Amino acid sequence: MNKGKTIFAQIMSLVNEYEFKKCVDRYKGDRHSIKFKCRDQFMVMSFAQFTDRSGLRDIETTLNLCTQDLYRSGLKAMPRSTLAEANENKNWHIYQDFAQVLIREAKKLYADQKLRVDLDEMVYAFDSSTIELCLKLCPWATFHHGRGAFKMHTLMDLRGSIPTFVRLTDGRVHDSKVMDKIPVESNAYYLMDKGYVKFDALYKHFHLKNAYFVTRAKDNMVYEILGRSKVDPDAGLISDQTIRLTAVKTSSKYPDTLRLVIYEDFSTGIVYRFLSNNFLLEALTIADLYRERWQIELFFKWIKQHLHVKTFYGTSMNAVFTQIWIAICDYLLLIIAKKRFMLEPSLHTISNSIGQILFKRGNISDIFNQPTLCVNAPEAEHVDQLSLW
């Protein structure tokens, strides 16, 4: 069926044209557009992300060199000035809204996905990543010490590694300031690092809504121990305590009891103190849950490296946010493609190889599911080992 279609065309076939047009019409994105519409912008920007183009001139040159494959892939060759103008003027909210469409589809596809931790409830990880910009070129992105940056706050559904909530803010906004914007579900688990230990938000926005959180306690936390449970030292568990905050301010912000699980990672010798409002799970499960945060770290590495957001194709806020949201859409399209086309390799493998075979013709499942699939990861990028904690 897909013998004449390129890999890129098959991935882009997952775009719901009706829903995409609704997003475009909502912001009048194609008003005054004749040759180059939002759909063309989305296709070209996705091509640029997948193939690691270094700038507008590189995009233009590469498209002009691939004219024979453009028609089969649904792409158009265009001057870089046309793409730059579209990125400056077409509202970035179009792609933010379309990302929500893809998120809903991805969540349906991965609803039955099993977690490594044996839980039936929803499990989310929340974190942020600071993306630096040149302040001289992007004066709207003031950070500090003469640097420019903005923050990407992300809530990820760990079933399928789906970013379900993304908020882009000024780089100076503290992580905890976004906590009350998170959509909270009853009986779901939310994993956060200790930058989000803001007790009034944990109490009002999670605990009172019957949602569970797992985070790390700060070293200066003042508390009293109300009770202890038996633990297995051979599993790395040091203690499992029921505590109450005793400092004047924190005790008024979180008046209920908390659970403090102290755990040692034998591979590194580092001791971790996990804070939660869940008293039903095994102590080791609390530690294992927090370990699952590694998935959101992989997502940020994807955004910064695999989809090459380190190279921006415009300097205005609209142009930068357009590129970010199209990158998120591309990430979601690969998640959906993995499920729809029953692709066996990991998402990491697919993302590393997709740019090399984008114009290859043939069934995408046959190409990716062949046992001898060889992936040449870019050697120019050194990816540090991720910290699971």
Please state the three-class secondary structure of 214-277 as a single string: EEECCCCCCEEEEEEECCCHHHCEEEEEEEEECCHHHHHHCCCCEEEEEEEECCCCEEEEEEEC
Largest interatomic CA distance in the chain: 72
User: Band of the pLDDT at 373, cuts 50, 70, 90?
Assistant: low
- How many CB atoms are closer than 10 A to CB 108? 11
The neighbouring-strand residues paired with 274 are 216, 261
d(CA 97, CA 193): 28
145 has pLDDT over 80: no
Position 378 scores a pLDDT of 43
Position 71 scores a pLDDT of 84
The last residue of one of the domains, among 242, 271, 296, is: 296
Tell whether 68 and 204 lie within a shared domain. no
On whether the CB atoms of residues 78 and 25 are closer than 8 A, the answer is no
Instruction: Please report whether residue 203 resides in a domain.
Output: yes
Tell whether 273 and 361 lie within a shared domain. no
33 has pLDDT over 60: yes
What average pLDDT does the segment 82-110 reach? 95
**Count: domains in the chain:** 2
d(CA 377, CA 388): 22
What average pLDDT does the segment 355-369 reach? 92
On whether the CB atoms of residues 221 and 238 are closer than 8 A, the answer is no
292 has pLDDT over 80: yes
For 29, residues 6+ apart whose C-beta sits below 8 A from its C-beta are 23, 37, 38, 90, 91, 94
175 has pLDDT over 80: yes
Comparing 68-82, 218-232, 271-285, 290-304, which segment has the lowest mean pLDDT? Answer: 290-304
The last residue of one of the domains, among 245, 270, 296, is: 296
For all residues of the chain together, what is the average pLDDT? 87
Tell whether 40 and 91 lie within a shared domain. yes
Q: Please report, in angstroms and rounded to a whole number, the separation of the first and last CA atoms in the chain.
A: 45
Most confident of 73-77, 234-238, 377-381: 234-238
Instruction: Please report whether residue 306 resides in a domain.
Output: no
pLDDT tens digit sequence for 34-60: 889 999 999 999 999 898 888 888 889
Integer Rg of the chain from CA: 23
What average pLDDT does the segment 310-335 reach? 86
What average pLDDT does the segment 63-80 reach? 88
User: Band of the pLDDT at 14, cuts 50, 70, 90?
Assistant: very high
What average pLDDT does the segment 331-343 reach? 95
d(CA 49, CA 323): 9
Backbone angles phi, psi at 166, to 5 degrees: -135, 130
What average pLDDT does the segment 188-204 reach? 94
User: Band of the pLDDT at 129, cuts 50, 70, 90?
Assistant: confident
Q: Is 344 helix (H, G, I), strand (E, B) or coil?
A: coil
Tell whether 220 and 292 lie within a shared domain. yes
What average pLDDT does the segment 247-251 reach? 96
User: Band of the pLDDT at 166, cuts 50, 70, 90?
Assistant: very high
Instruction: Please report whether residue 232 resides in a domain.
Output: yes
Tell whether 274 and 347 lie within a shared domain. no
Tell whether 258 and 335 lie within a shared domain. no
Token pair belonging to 120:
């039936």
User: Band of the pLDDT at 138, cuts 50, 70, 90?
Assistant: low
Domain extent for 90: 7-96+313-368
Tell whether 147 and 240 lie within a shared domain. yes
Instruction: Please report whether residue 208 resides in a domain.
Output: yes
User: Band of the pLDDT at 382, cuts 50, 70, 90?
Assistant: very low
Tell whether 348 and 284 lie within a shared domain. no
Tell whether 197 and 251 lie within a shared domain. yes
Q: No. of H helices and E strands in the chain? A: 14, 9
Instruction: Please report whether residue 173 resides in a domain.
Output: yes
Tell whether 84 and 119 lie within a shared domain. no
Position 251 scores a pLDDT of 96
For 279, residues 6+ apart whose C-beta sits below 8 A from its C-beta are 242, 259
Closest to 14 in 3D by CA, of 343, 334, 295, 371:
334
Position 377 scores a pLDDT of 44
User: Band of the pLDDT at 134, cuts 50, 70, 90?
Assistant: low
CATH for 240: 3.90.350.10
Position 250 scores a pLDDT of 96
Position 172 scores a pLDDT of 83
Closest to 332 in 3D by CA, of 100, 142, 55:
100
What average pLDDT does the segment 154-182 reach? 90
User: Band of the pLDDT at 311, cuts 50, 70, 90?
Assistant: low
245 has pLDDT over 90: yes
310 has pLDDT over 80: no
The last residue of one of the domains, among 268, 296, 324, is: 296
The more confident residue out of 159 and 258 is: 258
Position 389 scores a pLDDT of 46
Instruction: Please report whether residue 385 resides in a domain.
Output: no
Position 143 scores a pLDDT of 66
Closest to 375 in 3D by CA, of 342, 352, 357:
352
On whether the CB atoms of residues 199 and 254 are closer than 8 A, the answer is yes
What average pLDDT does the segment 91-116 reach? 95
Position 388 scores a pLDDT of 38
Instruction: Please report whether residue 218 resides in a domain.
Output: yes
Instruction: Please report whether residue 143 resides in a domain.
Output: yes
Tell whether 120 and 229 lie within a shared domain. yes
Tell whether 131 and 239 lie within a shared domain. yes
User: Band of the pLDDT at 372, cuts 50, 70, 90?
Assistant: low
379 has pLDDT over 50: no
